[in-house]
Chains A and B, each alone.
Chain A
Amino acid sequence: MLPLCSLFHQFILRALLREKLRTALTILGISLGVGVVVAIRLANSNALGSFRAATEAVAGETTLEITGTAGRFDELRLRELSWLRDYGRLSPVVTGYAMTEPTSATEKKGEFLQILGVDILRDRLLRQYDLLQLREGDREPNAREFLLLLADSQAVVVTEKFARRQGLTLGSTFTLIISDRKSEFVIRGLLRDEGPARALDGNFVLMDLAAAQWAFQRLGSLDRVDLKLAPGVAVEVAEAEITKRLPQGLVIVRPAARYSQMEKMIAAFHFNLNALASIALLVGLFLIYNTVSISVLTRREEIGMLRAVGTGRGVVLALFMGEACLLASMGAGLGLGLGQLMAKAAVQATSTTVETFYLAVVNPGATQPLQGVEGAMAVGLTLLLALGAATRPAFEAAQVAPLEAIRGPERLLKSRQWSWRAPVAACGLLILGGLLSRLAPVNGLPVYGYSAALALVLGGVLCTPIILWTMCRQGDRRLIRLPRLLPVERLLARASLGAAIPRVAISVGALAVSLAMMVSVSIMIGSFRETVVYWIEQTLRADIYARPLTRVTSIAEGDIDPAALALVAADPAVVAIDALSVQRVNFQGNTISLAGGDYAVLFDHGRLLFKAPQDAYDQLRRGIGRDVVSVSESFALRFGKGPGDVVELPTPLGLRPFEVIAVFYDYSSNHGVAVMDRTTYFRYFPAARPSSLSIYLQPGANPEEVRSRLASAVGSRYLVVFNTNRGLREEALRIFDSTFAITYALELIAIAVAGLGVMATLMTLILERRREFALLSMLGMTRGQMRRMLMIEAVYIGAAGQCIGLIIGVLLSLVLIYVINVQSFGWTIQFHVPMAFLAQSTLLILVAAAVAGLYPAARAMSANAAQGAREE
């Protein structure tokens, strides 16, 4: 063992230390890859973790929950549930979100708080209130104090953390915005920063049941009834028995189901983020392969010497595997720290998407530190992958024969030949990619889609040597006859690159992978953006849109008071209003939106883009008043439903069959939406209020003027936000762009990692070619010519990477658009190639490559004729 350690020190460590820059570039590359994966993992677990913590904290000791099939239900139905007491303690609950007042005029939203309205005396048996402080210095509230809480409809309990942040104390009055109204509350109690108070970074408010109903304007309705089973009652047994006995319109769920439902919904988004982040790690592993390969290639003579003095193949293998392990563990260790630092940025970068599509509130301040086990797993996995990446070059090293190592010309001869195996394997992988892309998703996740992408990427990478070889061979043949710009520099650059294909192919391949991802993602985003712009243009026909202040995203809560609706309708410029009511319900274990709109207004003024059937409008007209729905594309794809199918949708009266009559395009949400005409909708949801308004004006009316007028007429009493058509379009595209910002950020990191690889390769090639540079210098090559030659080599590397990247990128974009995106989000995207962007990025890559060649060129020029002469 000791000789191996000593040999490792002499042979590997010293070489790594001698090549400080290359070693540092490799470690930096790996650490960036690991860092990005860790950051995304932390951001993802933060989003889910805060939701889970909130769910668990708020659930307390609740074992089962009774809720309406369509969400809320009438509190009078409690009488039908008196038998539930046989199973344990009950506590009715009203819950929802409220928003603090925006602190400045420029801020569009304040902080969101989860409100829990309970009958506190009953609820004490389900949730722990010993952390509650009702008086200065007193932590043990008595029953009378609880009763006092009941008596005051403005009384609330907030967390100490929230109070501290807002500068509030016991007895302070503060304002909360609920839907389109402001309400004043008085802090009667504080919850210590433990237990429930830790949920959502302390954004949690407890109030009396009746007060909550009043605040949410949901008098007489409950969100659920929490049940804590009596000791000795098995959950499974109770759940089964209660399910049988529950009256129609009510269902029983476990608190954790909400979490798993959310987990399911967000899984595809997180899966895609993880996959994108993994590219940087993949490119980092290419770096390991690259570094060890170069180490082996450039030190064959030394390996031969080692073998000649009796070193066994196993030892040589262990030395190079050890090199990979060392680089990987250093990179992974650094990456863990980097990941923690990048996690906050990742949370912020993803919060817009998460809040727009999945969770009402993401807690950006509380990224959980990486757990020790997770950290160890990350390092272990990186080591394992690094060992895998280093296996081939390490085995090659072990195969070096003592004599072979010193046969330079033979090595050169070999490098000029290439095997047909790689192109054949590339073709096989490309075909495999095509086949995999045709397979269905696994549990809603595009597993085969990503496998297809991976096969295409690997296939493309395997094409790298042949593409480089072709490029260089053509150069060899033609250049000498072409008296064009910098002929000698180009001749030498192509010749050198041609001979170095085995060394550069890996880094060019890694560069190509990251560039391919950039190309494919930009095509996908460009196509998506074009599609969304078209969809917005076609469907956003109203002149003004209105929403309650709290409904900042399509999944946020809030509705508009009928009185506010009446004020809008009274404006002389308004000719029609489509008041859309939306209810989020549970359908087959997924949360979907059940909406009711005014078809008559839609026919006269609005427009939807229908995917099927062709006569969708006629179908809709015929369906008015009947139990029919039109569903969004994501609904249709997720649940496999189309025109003519029947779906059993949850209503307050229980599951009811509805016929699907049309499928429309919808890019505002991927949860799935089922829309029915308001006449049908109000039959099932008579108390529903509008969630948003599409307001159509008289021809010639100035939307901006009307918007101001409506804002002042309605805004003095209700917190309703009015947006003109143009404003809404801009806002939609702003959200779109911020949603994809992280995608570009992840891509840039992957490109940076690949760039490091190219630079490390160039540095190595230059070290290897010192004698060549000296010879060229002897033959009279000037420093300028040498610099230009090396920059041209760098540009060729960049060009080859971009060329392969463009080809694989276009193929990948097809997989992303037609497979992964459809399977993950259920959206059809029209293929569109952003030519200008791709042209710009190609130019940028070539310039960046030329710049990346500057430093190696400077290093090369230090090798002068004298050195070469002395070596001779």
Chain B
Amino acid sequence: MEHMQSILQVERVEKTYGGGQHGVAALKGVSLEVEAGGFVALMGPSGCGKSTLLHLIGGMERPTRGRITCAGVRLDTLNESERARFRRKSVGFVFQFFNLLPTLTVVENVALPLLLDGVSGDVARAQALALLERVGLSARETHFPAELSGGEMQRTAVARALAAQPPLVLADEPTGSLDSANGLQVMQLLATLNRELGVTILLATHAEEAARYATRTIRLRDGLIEDPYSHAAAL
């Protein structure tokens, strides 16, 4: 297998919520590495720590112990505003419940990361429209999220995740709220974007159908990686 440049390194990361005797350990020392342009599925039952790991990689939370380097940035050394900037530029998020701002139109939702980054309104709008065309929602640009179907909302969320052209997209159960047809469509979209744009995708899911689109699968159980190389070895 040709060695590719790594975009994400997670080293002995632990995450404990709460302190003292009542602390709950969500991650108990996870290490992994993801190569740029990869499509990695993170699988495991509910409560195994998938989402927590995604949140740590996305710079939304700090690990209790360990080190995370993403796109060349050491996340554990960043302050609040630097982490905000990191989230804005370096990662895109796709969630189970779409998490679109209900008060913004489709195009505004997609343009939001760009606007937050100081891109001018016209440029942001043009880029957002281009992305909407790519995800097949050009006709829906002025609609509000409440006027879209679940699949359309998730495709909007995918477009938003790609707006700032981040090297890494974190998708947390993106098909969890969709019927199978829409779920399939979203996964195909993610796979296409991964292939055509070269964006790295880290997918947290417990659905085998979704994980099939990934080029590598990592299984988590009780806050630990079950068998880090099993699937990679099979590839």
Contact = CB atoms under 8 A, between A and B. Distances in A.
Interface stretch (B70-78, B93-101, B190-198, B221-229): B93-101
Interface in A853-872: 864-866, 868-870, 872
A777 B84 contact: yes
A866 B64 CA distance: 14
A872 B112 contact: no
B101 A483 contact: no
B79 to A, nearest CB: 11
Contact of A783 (B81, B93, B121, B146): B81
B121 A487 contact: yes
A779 B87 contact: yes
A778 B115 CA distance: 14
B152 interface: no
Contact of B61 (A410, A498, A866): A866
A780 B60 contact: no
A413 to B, nearest CB: 5
Contacts of B21: none
Contacts of B80: 783
Nearest to B118: A488
Contacts of B207: none
Contacts of B147: 413
Interface stretch (A117-125, A270-278, A474-482): A474-482
Contact of A778 (B58, B107, B121): B58
B116 A781 contact: yes
Contact of A866 (B60, B115, B145, B146): B60
A409 B108 contact: no
A775 B55 contact: no
A869 B84 contact: no
Highest count of chain A CB atoms <10 Å: which of B107, B112, B113: B112
A260 interface: no
Nearest to B81: A782
B115 A775 contact: no
A498 B144 CA distance: 12
Interface in B89-133: 89, 93, 95-97, 99, 101-105, 107-108, 111-113, 115-117, 120-122, 124-125
A348 to B, nearest CB: 50
A152 interface: no
B64 to A, nearest CB: 13
B14 interface: no
A777 B84 CA distance: 7
B51 A869 contact: yes
Nearest to A476: B105
A869 B55 contact: yes
A783 B84 CA distance: 9
Contacts of A779: 87-88, 93, 112-113, 116, 160
Given A498-B103, A781-B84, A872 B108 contact: no
A777 B88 CA distance: 9
A573 interface: no
B216 to A, nearest CB: 24
A676 interface: no
Contacts of B125: 480-481
B172 to A, nearest CB: 7
B115 A488 contact: yes
A782 B113 CA distance: 12
A488 B112 CA distance: 8
B102 A483 contact: no
Highest count of chain A CB atoms <10 Å: which of B59, B80, B101: B101
A780 B121 contact: no
A590 interface: no
A787 B145 CA distance: 25
A270 B211 CA distance: 79
A495 B103 contact: yes
Contact of A499 (B95, B103, B124): B103
Contact of B116 (A409, A480, A488, A783): A488
B85 interface: yes
Contacts of A780: 84-89, 113, 116-117, 164
Contacts of B145: 409
A772 interface: yes
A20 interface: no
Highest count of chain A CB atoms <10 Å: which of B93, B96, B121: B121
B200 to A, nearest CB: 18
B101 A412 contact: no
Highest count of chain B CB atoms <10 Å: which of A413, A491, A785, A864: A491
A367 B105 CA distance: 61
A776 B104 CA distance: 12
A785 to B, nearest CB: 7
Given A488-B112, A866-B55, A872-B95, A481 B87 contact: no
Contacts of B102: 409, 412, 499
A100 interface: no
Contacts of A487: 115, 120-121
Contacts of B89: 780
Contacts of A409: 102, 145-146
A480 B125 CA distance: 7
B57 to A, nearest CB: 11
A201 B44 CA distance: 87
Contact of B87 (A410, A496, A499, A865): A865
A479 B99 contact: no
A416 interface: yes
Contacts of B105: 476
A412 B144 contact: yes
Highest count of chain B CB atoms <10 Å: which of A413, A779, A864: A779
B55 to A, nearest CB: 4
Contacts of B120: 483, 487
B103 A496 contact: yes
Contacts of B107: 480
Contacts of B111: 480
Contacts of B59: 865
B140 to A, nearest CB: 15
A60 B55 CA distance: 88
A492 B108 CA distance: 9
Nearest to A786: B84
B23 to A, nearest CB: 15
A869 B60 contact: yes
A865 B60 contact: yes
A776 B108 CA distance: 13
A779 B61 CA distance: 13
Given A413-B146, A778-B58, A780-B117, A481 B122 contact: yes
Nearest to B172: A872
A820 to B, nearest CB: 43
B87 A778 contact: yes
Interface string B172-211: 1000000000000000000000000000000000000000
Contacts of B96: 872
Contacts of B144: 412-413, 416
Interface in A90-117: none
Contacts of A778: 58, 60, 87, 93, 99
Contact of B121 (A476, A482, A498): A482
A863 to B, nearest CB: 12
Nearest to A407: B146
Nearest to B59: A865
A476 B105 CA distance: 9
Nearest to B62: A866
Interface string A770-814: 001001111111111100000000000000000000000000000
A868 B55 CA distance: 10
Given A495-B104, A778-B99, A872-B172, 14 more contacts: A412-B102, A480-B111, A480-B124, A480-B125, A491-B115, A772-B103, A778-B58, A779-B87, A780-B86, A780-B89, A784-B81, A865-B87, A869-B61, A872-B51
10 contacts: A413-B144, A483-B120, A483-B121, A488-B112, A488-B116, A777-B87, A780-B116, A866-B61, A868-B60, A872-B95
Interface of B: 51, 55, 58-61, 80-81, 84-89, 93, 95-97, 99, 101-105, 107-108, 111-113, 115-117, 120-122, 124-125, 144-147, 160, 164, 172
